[in-house]
């Protein structure tokens, strides 16, 4: 055998040494991986981790070293672009990445926007992980807490129930304007006479089903939610008003009522992840109103 010839066995041995050396170097560097960051979240969230959950990795390699963490309501392409530009490669998103609750993608594989988004994630070595079920499950609900703090309603919570707040008396119109200003929302909508006096508020950020309106509007002057199907809670509110009750409903938008909770999430992550920078990147309201 020529002295410069390497056998397959020797080549395999060298490869093993190289791999071991690479693993050792990574261990010595102490680089936090996305998987390790999520393990810390699971350890610190304060509620039992459910096996049946949407809180899973949605894109990217979980063993990627983390350069920074971005939290947001949703991993939209715009959010991913801003995160990459800011050097944040782990995106903690509250809502889906690929537009359906379970992030089912088998019918999207040939869609050009899906492929573009996947290519951007791969090109920039991003990792996307969803944090929905367990962030809501915290006591108190962290999404609700973020919204209430932004609205300045902390001190008005009624009886320890996060759904109800007793504010200084105002009118429905004035309440809607105050919420519009504090949430910086362009397309807030309201139902009811703007002049009626209101004090007791029921609050349901995000998407609200019919029964949430049925359960809480009778106990409140105004039912405030993110979004609702127009033939469900909205028409229940209108029928309540038509029946002679002085009630109101305010729809502020799903994004703007839940994104503050992901700002709170960024602050919370900083209490136990200190190796990398962490930033909230607002998703932003998607709608605009014609002038």
> How would residue 158 be classed by pLDDT, with cut points 50, 70 and 90?
confident
3-class DSSP assignment, residue 191: strand
Q: Kindly report the CATH class assigned to 142-252.
A: alpha beta
Mean pLDDT of 163-172: 98
Q: Per residue in 117-136, pLDDT tens?
A: 999 999 999 999 999 999 99
3-class DSSP assignment, residue 209: coil
DSSP assignment string, 221-257: SEEEEEE--TTTHHHHHHHHHHTT---EEEE--HHHH
Four-CA torsion 236, 241, 243, 246, nearest 10 degrees:
130
Q: Residue 6 above 80 pLDDT?
A: no
Helical ranges in the chain per DSSP H = 8-29, 34-44, 77-85, 112-123, 133-137, 142-151, 172-183, 210-216, 233-242, 254-269
Burial code (b: 16+ CB inside 10 Å, e: under 16) for 9-22 equals: eeeeeeeeeeeeee
Q: Per residue in 169-227, pLDDT tens?
A: 999 999 999 999 999 999 999 999 999 999 999 999 999 999 999 999 999 999 999 99
Fold of 34-138+258-280: 3.40.1390
DSSP assignment string, 115-149: HHHHHHHHHTT-EEEE--HHHHHSSS-HHHHHHHH
> How would residue 29 be classed by pLDDT, with cut points 50, 70 and 90?
low
- Name the region of 86 (left: φ>0; alpha: ψ -120 to 50; beta: rest): alpha
Q: Per residue in 69-92, pLDDT tens?
A: 999 999 999 999 999 999 999 999
216-220: list long-range contacts, CB under 8 Å, 24+ apart: 216/163, 216/164, 217/247, 217/249, 219/164, 220/164, 220/247
CB 194 within 8 A of CB 177: no
Mean pLDDT of 276-285: 98
Biggest CA–CA distance in the chain, Å, is 100
pTM to 2 decimal places: 0.88
How big is the CA angle at 225 (ends 175 and 187), to the nearest 5 degrees? 65
Output the pLDDT for position 160. Answer: 85
Q: Where in the chain is the domain with CATH 3.40.1390.30?
A: 34-138+258-280, 142-252
CA distance 233 to 227: 9
Average pLDDT in the chain: 91
Percent of the chain with pLDDT over 70: 90
Q: Residue 262 above 70 pLDDT?
A: yes
């Amino acid at each position: 055998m020529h002295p410069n010839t390497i056998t397959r066995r020797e080549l395999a041995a060298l490869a093993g040494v190289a791999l071991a050396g690479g693993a050792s170097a990574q261990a010595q560097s102490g680089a936090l991986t996305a998987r390790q960051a999520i393990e810390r979240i699971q350890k610190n969230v304060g509620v039992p981790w459910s096996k049946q959950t949407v809180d899973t990795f949605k894109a990217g390699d979980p063993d990627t070293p983390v350069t920074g963490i971005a939290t947001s309501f949703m991993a939209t392409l715009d959010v991913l672009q801003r995160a990459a530009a800011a050097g944040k490669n782990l995106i903690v998103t509250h809502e889906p990445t690929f537009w359906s609750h379970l992030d089912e993608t088998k019918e999207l594989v040939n869609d050009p926007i899906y492929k573009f988004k996947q290519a951007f994630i791969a090109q920039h070595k991003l990792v996307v992980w969803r944090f929905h079920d367990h962030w809501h499950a915290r006591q108190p609900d962290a999404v609700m807490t973020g919204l209430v703090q932004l609205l300045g309603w902390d001190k008005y919570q009624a009886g320890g129930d996060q759904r109800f707040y007793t504010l200084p008396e105002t009118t429905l119109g004035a309440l809607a304007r105050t919420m519009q200003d504090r949430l910086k929302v362009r397309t807030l909508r309201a139902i009811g006479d703007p002049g009626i006096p209101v004090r007791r508020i029921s609050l349901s950020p995000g998407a609200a089903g019919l029964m949430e309106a049925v359960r809480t509007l009778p106990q409140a002057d105004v039912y405030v939610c993110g979004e609702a199907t127009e033939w469900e809670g909205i028409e229940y509110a209108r029928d309540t008003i038509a029946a002679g009750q002085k009630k109101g409903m305010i729809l502020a938008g799903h994004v703007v009522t839940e994104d503050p909770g992901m700002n709170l999430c960024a602050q919370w992550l900083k209490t136990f992840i200190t190796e990398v920078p962490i930033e909230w990147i607002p998703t932003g309201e998607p709608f605009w109103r014609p002038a």
